[in-house]
């Protein structure tokens, strides 16, 4: 997924990672040079959809303008990391 808006410098990655771990998701999240944030989530469909719903809102200090989602097969990740 790729989220755009005011999503860097507002704790988006930290809070998203905390949420992903609470949902028992694996994967990663990182800032991009263009100001967006990209992430990959692996887990149950229900947990991933819950995570995407959170990403559409983002943290209180941020502002999400757009969310692009592409579904891919799992890679076998076993933890969630901030890159």
Task: Write out pLDDT tens, residues 3-30.
Answer: 999 999 999 999 999 999 999 999 999 9
Known catalytic residue: 13? yes
Q: Which of 2, 6, 19, 31 is catalytic?
A: 31
Predicted TM-score (pTM) of this structure: 0.93
Per-residue pLDDT reduced to its tens digit, 65-78:
999 999 998 899 99
Q: Which of 2, 13, 21, 45 is catalytic?
A: 13
SS (H, E, C) the chain: CEEEEECCCCCHHHHHHHHHHHCCCEEEEEECCCCCEEEEEECCHHHHHHHHHHHHHCCCCCEEEEEECCCCCCCCCCCEEEC
Of 3.50.50.60, 3.30.70.100, 3.40.50.20, 2.40.30.60, the CATH number of 2-75 is: 3.30.70.100
């Amino acid at each position: 997924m790729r989220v755009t808006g005011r999503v860097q410098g507002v704790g988006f990655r930290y809070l998203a990672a905390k949420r992903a771990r609470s949902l028992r998701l694996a994967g990663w999240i990182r800032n991009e040079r263009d100001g967006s944030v990209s992430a990959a989530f692996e887990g149950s469909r229900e947990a991933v959809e819950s995570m995407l719903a959170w990403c559409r809102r983002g943290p209180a200090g941020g502002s999400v303008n757009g969310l692009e989602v592409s579904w891919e097969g799992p890679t076998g990740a076993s933890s969630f990391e901030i890159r």
